[in-house]
Structure 1
Amino acid sequence: MREIRCGACNRKLGEGDYSRLAIKCPRCKTMNFLRAERPEPAGRRASDSKEVSRDEGKAPTGEERIQIP
């Protein structure tokens, strides 16, 4: 399960798995719209090429945050 926090004040709003979620923060009243990212297609792998991506080794966030005050 993922921890869900307000994008404006960082208050913990809950935990859970979601594909799309809209939740209003009771502290700052910001509407938080969350959506799970789609996984990248398995077409080309970094190990197939001598080039190494700068993002390799970073953990994906798995979410996209949109804030509307």
Structure 2
Amino acid sequence: MQDIRCGSCSRKLGEGEFISLTIKCPRCKTMNTLRVTRSEPVCPSASPIGVSIEQTHHPVDRRQTSYG
């Protein structure tokens, strides 16, 4: 299993295995999007050469909209 941490403040958000995950950090309110990217094997029976994890984080705008 792998630790899943916020890309902005490094708070541990969980642990496990994933293919695609979007999770909001309760501490800094950043939306973290994690995705596994694989290089496709040349031969269908071959295993992937490598697996890399792509992580992006987007701070959430804290402005509030006034109504009326």
**TM-score (normalizing by structure 2):** 0.67
Could you tell me which residue of structure 2 aligns to residue 33 of structure 1?
33
RMSD: 1.8
Aligned letter for 2:30?
A: T
How many angstroms does 1:37 deviate by? 1.6
Aligned equivalent of 2:52 = 62
Identity %: 57
Unaligned runs of 5+ in 2: 44-49, 60-68
More helix, by proportion: 1
Distance 2:37 2:18 in 1: 10
Aligned residues: 53
**What is the distance in 2 between the residues matched to 1:26 and 1:39?**
33
For structure 1, the residue ranges without an aligned partner over 5 or more in a row are 44-59
The structure with the larger Rg is 2
Report how far residue 61 of structure 1 moved: 7.1
Greater relative contact order, per chain length (Cα 8 Å cut-off, separation 6+):
1
